[in-house]
Structure 1
Amino acid sequence: MSKVSTLAVAALLGSAHAWLPNENLHRMEARDGSNMFNVSSRRSVEGRWLTTDGAPLRGVNLGSQFVLEPWMASNSWSSMGCSGQNSEFDCVSLLGQDAANSAFQSHWGSWITEDDFNEMQSYGLNSVRIPLGYWLDESLVYSDSEHFPQGALSYLTQIVGWASDRGFYIILDLHGAPGAQVATNADTGQYASTPGFYVDYQYERALQFLEYLVTQVHTVNEYRNVGMIEIVNEPLQNTDDQTTSMRSSYYADAWNRVHAKEDDLGVHGNAQVHLAVMNDNWGSGNPVEYMNSWYVAYDDHRYLKWDSSVSVDQASYLAASCNDASQSDSPGIVGEFSLSPPDDVQWTDAWTPASNVDFYAKWFAAQMTSYESHNLGWFFWSWKTELGDYRWSYKDAVAAGVIPADLSTVNRASAC
C-alpha cells in the first residue's frame, strides 16, 4: 500500500487486445446471467466475454486473505499462533510446516466467505483485486530455505469462482515477489532485511509464477472473470540500477512470457489478459520504457496519508482529492486507497472516525468521483480488517454510514 493515478483507451487500441471494462468492448458473465454493470449484453466471438457500456470498476482488495498482514488482522494472527512474528515466513518458521498449513488453511477458509461476496454485490461493487504471494505455486519455493504456508490454490479457486459467479471483474496481484520487492514489509510475506527481488534468478521465478497464474486463468473455469494480472505490487521507489534492471528485464520478459503462454494455450486477441504495472507516478521509472505497452494497464495507489505535498487538514484533503487528475498513464486504475490520515493525527479530535463521519463521507465521495473520472475505476483497501477502524475497511465504512450501501446515492456535490 502507498501513493498517487486517466483514461484514454485509444492509447491501447490495436487490431486485437485484451478487454478492459471501460472500453465498450467486453465484460464477464455471472452464473445467473446478471450484469453487474447494469447494461444489456451479448456474447462475443470468444464466448467468455460480454459487452458493457463503460461502467467504472468499483471494487475492494481482499487484503490479508492470501498475504496476511498482522497490522490489519492481529486477532487472527494471534489465534493462528503467529503472535510476535512479522510475516508469514516468520510464522511458518516458528510453527513448523504442518502446523502452519493447518492454521493458514483455517484462515483461508474463513477470512473471506461467499457471504462476503453476497454483501459486496448488494452494495453495488463489481470488482475485486486479490493480493497473492509467489509461494502459491509451491514448486517455486526453495524448500531448504523458504518457509510459506501450503495448500492455498484450492481456496483461491473457490474465491475467484464466487466472484465470477457474480459477474465480478478480477485482478490477480503479485503482492509478494520472490526475495521480497521491498525490505521489512509484511505485505511481501517475508519481512526481508533487504529487497532481494532485483536479480535475474528471482525474476525468473516471478515469470514462472505469472505463467502459472495465466494457465489457471485460461484452463480453470472459476478463473473466467480474471481480466488482469499485476506483475508486481509496489516495487522500490527509485530509478537506480535495481529498478532499471526490473523494468528492462522483468517487465519486458513478463509481457513476452505471459502472451507466449497464452499463444501456446490457443488464447488470442480479446481473450488475453491485461498486465498491470505500477504507473510512472509510483517512482520506479517509466514502466513501459522497455516493454510492449499493448495489453498493459497502469496501477496508481492514492494514499494522502503518505503524501507530504498535501497539508494535513480536512479542507486540503478534500481539495486534493476533488482535483486529483494526476494519472498520466492510461488506461489506469486506482488499485489501492483508503480514508486514513497520517499516523500522528489519526486519533486527534479533527480526525477521529467517530466524530468525523461527515468529513469521511465527503472524502470518500471526492476520491470516488476523481478516480472514476480519470481512471477505469478503483479498489478500496481493504474489504475488511480487525482494526475497528472503518477508514481501512469498506465493510465497516458502510456499517458506519460513511460509504452508502447504494453507491448511486454518493453525494458527489457535497464534497467537490
Structure 2
Amino acid sequence: MTDQISSFPSADDAVTLPITSRQIFRARQNLGVNLGGVFVREKWIFHLTFPGNTLFELEAVAKSVNDVGVDQTRRAMEKYWKDYISNDDWKWMQGQGVTGVRIPLGYWNIGGGKFVSGTKFESFSEIYRNSWNILKSHYIEPAAGHNIAICVDIHALPGGANGDASSGEKNGGSADFWSNQQYQDLMVQAMRFVAQDLLSYDNISSILLANEAVSMGSIDPETNYYVRAIKAIREIDTSIPIVISDAWSANQYVKWVQQQQGENNCAGLIIDEHCYRCFSQSDLAKSADQITNDLQSDLLSGLDNNGRGVDIMIGEWTCVLDGQTWARTGLDPNDYGSSRRAAYVAKFAQTQMGLFLQRAPASIYFWTYKFESGNGGEWDFKQQLNKSFTFPSVSVPTAGYFDVLFNQHYQAHVDYWHKANPNENYEHYRYEDGFKAAWNDYETFAKAGSRVGRTQAIKSARYRQHLKSRGVLRFLWEWDHGYNQALSEVTKYI
C-alpha cells in the first residue's frame, strides 16, 4: 500500500448517552430494498424509458434529446422520477418492517447536474437540473415521515467504477474512473456537496462512494480515492457512515480498514458486500442445494481477525438462481410456478438472510423494489418478502430477563477467574460495565423498533467512553468479555 493512505480521518462516536434519533437511523440495522432503475435507469427493470435500441442511461437520454428535444425529455424524466414511488409505497414498506432503502444515483444527479463538467453527461445537465430536489422532496422527506432511512448510493461515477450498464455510460466497457484524476477530483467535490446539502436530514443512514468497483489488481486506485472522498465528507459531517465497495473481495478491504483505523478505533466506514449466485460460471455449474449449502463457507468467511472492528452491509442480494442451476437441480428452468422451485428459493433466501444477520448486520438491501411489468419474479422484493424470506422481528427484553442473565453470567465470570488465580486483584466492575453497555444499547434500539446494525462502531464508541470514565488499567479485557457476553445473549432474545 502507498503512503498516501496512511492518514485516516476518524469519526465521531456512533452513539452517545443518550442515543439520539439521528444516531438510531445511522447505527440501526436498516432492513429493506434498493430502489433500482430510477435515477440510474436499467432497461431490464423499466424498459419503456429507453427509446429505440438504447441500453443505458447516456444512450437513452441522448436519443431522447435528439428525438423530442431537451424540454420534453426533461419533463418526461421528472414525471418518471416522481411517479416511480407514491405515499402508498412508503406506507406499504413501513407496514412490512422496512427500515431503510438504498437509492442508486448517478453523478449527473448530484446537485441537479452541478458535477458533470468534462464528462460524457456535460451536454445533458439540463435534463437533470431538478433531479436532486426531486430526490429530496419525493424520496428522502417522505421516507423520514415513515421512519425509513436512506442510503445515498452514488452508483454511477464518471468513466464508470465498472464497465456495466449500471455505470450509466457504457455496457461491457472499462472502469475508467479509477485511472482518471480529473474524474476523481470532480467526485471529491461532489461528495463534499452531498454531505453538506443533506446534513440537515436525520434519516440519511449512509453515503456510498462507489458501487461494485472492479478489481484493479491492487486496491490502491480505489483506496486512494476513498481516502480523499472520506476526508472531504468528514470536513462537513464527522458522524455520517461512509460506505465503500469491496470490489468483490471483502477481506482485502476488511484488512485495509483494520490497518487504517487501528485497534478499538472507528473511522465510521461500512464495507458493501453484494451477494449474487446466478452469474459466475462456478455457480452455474452447481445445483440449488449446492449453492445454498456452500453459502456457509463462501459468504464473508475467513475474514482477518474475524472482521473485528469493521462493519459490513449487504448492499444488494436476491433470490435468483440461473436456469442452468435449475436444470442441474432437476427442474424445468421455465416452470416458475413449481412448488419444488418455491421451496428451493425459500431455503436459499432464508439461508442467505441468516448469514447476513450474523456476518453483515449493518444493513441488508434486496435488489430490487419494483418492475415496469409489475412482477419481477425472484428479483422482485414485493413478490418475495414474506414468501421466500422475512425480516426478523424485534422484541424488547424485560428487566427481569436482564437481571437473571446478568447475575448468572457475572457470577460465572467472577467464579472462573477467582478459581484460576485467587490472588489476583481483578476489576470485575469492568465486566459489569461492558455487559450493561451492550444490553442497554440493544434495549434502546429495540424500543425504537429496530435492531443494532453497526455493532463494531457502537462497541468502539462504548469502549472509548468506558476508558474516559474508568481509565486505562490492566483488566480492560474484562469489559470486552462482558460486552461480548451481553451481545450474544441479547441478540438471541431480540
Shorter-chain TM-score bucket reads 0.7 to 0.9
**1:47-62 to 2 correspondence within 5 Å?**
48-50=22-24, 56-62=29-35
How far did 1:374 drift?
Answer: 1.1
CA contact (8 A) 1:128 1:170 kept: yes
1:144–1:297 Cα change, 3 Å: closer
1:144–1:186 Cα change, 3 Å: closer
How far did 1:343 drift?
Answer: 5.2
**Which amino acid in 1 is paired with 2:245?**
M
1:325–1:15 Cα change, 3 Å: same
Structure 2 equivalent of residue 111 of structure 1:
84
The equivalent position to 1:313 in structure 2, one of 287, 297, 304, is 287
Deviations 1:346-365 (A, max 9, x none): 68616743212122122211
The equivalent position to 2:187 in structure 1, one of 193, 206, 215, is 206
How far did 1:171 drift?
Answer: 1.0
Structure 1 equivalent of residue 242 of structure 2:
275
1:280–1:120 Cα change, 3 Å: same
1:217 is the counterpart of 2:214: no
1:286–1:366 Cα change, 3 Å: closer
Following the alignment from structure 1 to structure 2, what is the Cα–Cα distance between the partners of residues 174 and 200? 18
CA contact (8 A) 2:214 2:247 kept: no
1:48–1:398 Cα change, 3 Å: closer
Q: Which has the larger radius of gyration?
A: 2
Deviations 1:17-76 (A, max 9, x none): 353xxxxx47xxxxxxxxxxxxxxx964x6633499x863311011112111001212x3
Q: Secondary structure in 2 aligned to 1:261? A: coil
1:196 is the counterpart of 2:181: no
Q: Secondary structure in 2 aligned to 1:140? A: coil
Structure 2 equivalent of residue 298 of structure 1:
271
The equivalent position to 1:77 in structure 2, one of 27, 45, 49, is 49
Name whichever of 328-337 and 62-71 sits farther off. Answer: 328-337
The equivalent position to 2:223 in structure 1, one of 240, 247, 258, is 247
CA contact (8 A) 1:133 1:174 kept: yes
CA contact (8 A) 1:176 1:233 kept: yes
Structure 1 equivalent of residue 157 of structure 2:
177
Structure 2 equivalent of residue 100 of structure 1:
73
How far did 1:86 drift?
Answer: 1.4
The equivalent position to 1:231 in structure 2, one of 209, 221, 246, is 209
Following the alignment from structure 1 to structure 2, what is the Cα–Cα distance between the partners of residues 284 and 67? 28
1:323–1:246 Cα change, 3 Å: closer
How far did 1:344 drift?
Answer: 4.3
Following the alignment from structure 1 to structure 2, what is the Cα–Cα distance between the partners of residues 255 and 236? 19
How far did 1:161 drift?
Answer: 1.1
Q: Which has the higher contact order (CA 8 A, sep 6+)?
A: 1
Deviations 1:227-254 (A, max 9, x none): 21111111122315xx532322x11101
Q: Secondary structure in 2 aligned to 1:312? A: coil
Q: Secondary structure in 2 aligned to 1:203? A: helix
| Alignment: residue pair count | 353
Deviations 1:188-222 (A, max 9, x none): 11116433212111001111121111112213xxx
**Which amino acid in 2 is paired with 1:274?**
P
1:173–1:326 Cα change, 3 Å: same
How far did 1:286 drift?
Answer: 3.6
How far did 1:77 drift?
Answer: 2.0
Q: Secondary structure in 1 aligned to 2:23? A: coil
Following the alignment from structure 2 to structure 1, what is the Cα–Cα distance between the partners of residues 170 and 101? 25
Following the alignment from structure 1 to structure 2, what is the Cα–Cα distance between the partners of residues 67 and 93? 15
CA contact (8 A) 1:230 1:276 kept: yes
1:162 is the counterpart of 2:137: no
How far did 1:16 drift?
Answer: 5.8
Following the alignment from structure 1 to structure 2, what is the Cα–Cα distance between the partners of residues 386 and 196? 31
The equivalent position to 2:131 in structure 1, one of 147, 152, 168, is 152
What percent identity do the matched residue pairs reach?
Answer: 20
Following the alignment from structure 1 to structure 2, what is the Cα–Cα distance between the partners of residues 380 and 56? 14
**Which amino acid in 2 is paired with 1:118?**
K
1:132 is the counterpart of 2:113: no
**Which amino acid in 1 is paired with 2:368?**
S
How far did 1:384 drift?
Answer: 1.3
The equivalent position to 1:402 in structure 2, one of 368, 388, 391, is 388
Structure 1 equivalent of residue 332 of structure 2:
349
Following the alignment from structure 1 to structure 2, what is the Cα–Cα distance between the partners of residues 90 and 135? 14
In structure 1, stretches of 5+ residues that fail to align are 1-13, 20-24, 27-41, 263-267, 410-416
1:353–1:58 Cα change, 3 Å: farther
Name whichever of 378-387 and 141-150 sits farther off. Answer: 141-150
**Which amino acid in 2 is paired with 1:396?**
Q
Following the alignment from structure 1 to structure 2, what is the Cα–Cα distance between the partners of residues 139 and 313? 48
How far did 1:162 drift?
Answer: 1.6
CA contact (8 A) 1:304 1:317 kept: yes
Following the alignment from structure 2 to structure 1, what is the Cα–Cα distance between the partners of residues 25 and 244? 25
When the two structures are superposed, what TM-score results if normalisation uses the length of structure 1?
Answer: 0.76
How far did 1:280 drift?
Answer: 6.5
- The structure that is helix-richer by fraction is 2
How far did 1:345 drift?
Answer: 4.9
**Which amino acid in 2 is paired with 1:282?**
S
In structure 2, stretches of 5+ residues that fail to align are 1-8, 395-494
1:189–1:51 Cα change, 3 Å: closer
Following the alignment from structure 1 to structure 2, what is the Cα–Cα distance between the partners of residues 77 and 337? 24
1:73–1:368 Cα change, 3 Å: same
1:333 is the counterpart of 2:318: no
How far did 1:283 drift?
Answer: 7.2
Q: Secondary structure in 2 aligned to 1:117? A: helix
Q: Secondary structure in 1 aligned to 2:320? A: coil
